[in-house]
Homo-oligomer: A and B are copies of this chain.
Amino acid sequence: MPGKARTTKAKLQSAAFRRTRSDHSKELAADYVELIADIIDERGTARGTDVALRLGVANATVVKMLKRLTDMGLVTQEPYRPIDLTGEGWLMAETGRKKHQIVERFLLALGVGEETARIDSEGIEHHVSDETLKAMGRFLARNSS
């Protein structure tokens, strides 16, 4: 029954693509939140300008995004004040950092150069499932003396 097989394949495949698409918005949120956490840790306080500068984006874009992040319960802000993360925001940042670190160290262990590891891990990070992350962790355990 080729029709049935076709449908099944399509369903499987579309699920994967759908996941990839839905990842994209979460990805951006995670990037913002992680970056804000980094900035707060570095200088005690995060201003919109810092975020805009590091993300390579206009101030207005950051403002708009922060509104969305506020709605998602990840950041808090009062007008004209620096940005703060909620508990959930910190949690997300922490999770992201761990993930990022594993992926980056994994690429290095695989023999990839520092610069490339840094760049690629940024892109790959958000598409790695827990299962794959675990496999990378095992590899690191085996291959780091």
User: Which of A's residues lie within 8 Å of B, judged by CB?
Assistant: 7, 9-10, 13-20, 23-24, 31, 35, 50, 53-57, 107, 110-113, 116-120, 122-124, 126-129, 131-132, 135-136, 138-139
Q: Which residues of B contact A129 (CB under 8 A)?
A: 116, 119-120
Excluding A9-B54, A19-B122, A112-B135, 12 further A-B contacts by CB distance (< 8 Å) are: A7-B53, A10-B54, A13-B55, A14-B53, A14-B54, A14-B56, A14-B57, A16-B118, A17-B54, A107-B135, A123-B126, A124-B127
Looking at chain A's contact residues, the main secondary structure is helix
Cα distance, A112 to B24, chains bound together (Å): 23
Q: Which residues of B contact A126 (CB under 8 A)?
A: 123
Closest to A38 in B: B13
- Could you tell me if A113 and B127 are in contact, using CB atoms closer than 8 angstroms? no
Q: Which residues of B contact A24 (CB under 8 A)?
A: 24
- Could you tell me if A122 and B16 are in contact, using CB atoms closer than 8 angstroms? yes
Cα distance, A54 to B24, chains bound together (Å): 19
